[in-house]
Amino acid sequence: MKQTLWKEFGKQILISMGIYAALFLILYIIEWAVPALCGTLLQWHDWAFIVGIPASVAGTAYVLTIQNPKNYTGFVGAITMAVLLAWQFALWGNWDLVVLHIALFIPFQTTSLLRWRKQALSNKEQGTRSQDILPSWLNMKGVVFNVVFTMVIVLLDILFVTWLDGNRLGDEILSKVMGGLMIAASILANFWMIHKKIDTWICWIIYSLAGLVIYVLTHNIFTFVLFLITLVLNVKAAIEWIKISKQ
């Protein structure tokens, strides 16, 4: 069983590499056809851009792998992605996001890896399908918690960013709200992933949509495309988990 799961993870890594190879080829052709865009889509001079490439490959392989809620090996990709993103944010000087990934996301993902693995091994030993190995929806109490938590985090982030930038509360409010949504959604997504809640994908979809808005506002075409790919993958994973939960 273990060998099969690792093979599946390896297969998804290859698929992920193929996705980004095709993307880079398309972007290279665009830069060649439109010289004014040269260096803006593919920023090979920027180390943060280079570090983000294997992070994206590992992250995509992670999402593709855990579409199968029995395959805990995908979290190796998640942890790899989190480490690389922490490095990328450090290069950008976003130290709050560095702390978020190291102090919160990596422990969450490690916990998911250990818990999913324990469930998979326990299920194999029992020779039956245990209920906790299948994804499920949050109850109403969990949904209310998500909403309240998101509102609190968004408000705190708006206040923090306003204080940090030294501007007025209403300045760049859309960007501030979207940034807060991304933080809240990513924290909730990583937490509920431990418990195999389908709602985790709703959080990741919200995260992706908020990111798309931010990168439209900042005119970051490459990252916008990455988040568009992420959105498609998260929607696909959500659909797969919903199908499995009905079994």
d(C-alpha 71, C-alpha 79), whole Å: 15
Q: Which residues have a Cβ under 8 Å from the Cβ of 61 and sit 6 or more positions away?
A: 9, 12, 13, 15, 16, 74, 77
Which three-class secondary structure state does DSSP give residue 136? strand
| pLDDT exceeds 50 at position 93 | yes
Tell the residue number behind the tokens 């990168």, with chain if given. Answer: 215
> Given 3-state DSSP classes, what are the helix, strand and coil percentages for the chain, each rounded to the nearest 5?
80, 0, 20
| Global model pTM greater than 0.85 | yes
**What is the per-residue pLDDT across 57-73, written as a single tens digit (0 to 9) for each?**
999 999 999 999 999 99
**Portion of the chain with pLDDT greater than 90, in percent:** 72
pLDDT score of 94? 82
Give the DSSP H or E segment for 120.
Answer: helix 106-126
Sign, CA torsion 242/232/154/90? positive
8 A C-beta contact, residue 177 and residue 153: no
In the chain, where are the structural domains located? 1-133, 136-247
Confidence of residue 194 (pLDDT cuts 50, 70, 90): very high
In angstroms, the CA 116 to CA 126 distance is 15
3-state secondary structure (DSSP) of residue 220: coil
Determine how many CB atoms are found less than 10 A away from the CB of residue 85.
23
Read off the pLDDT band of 134 (50, 70, 90). Answer: confident
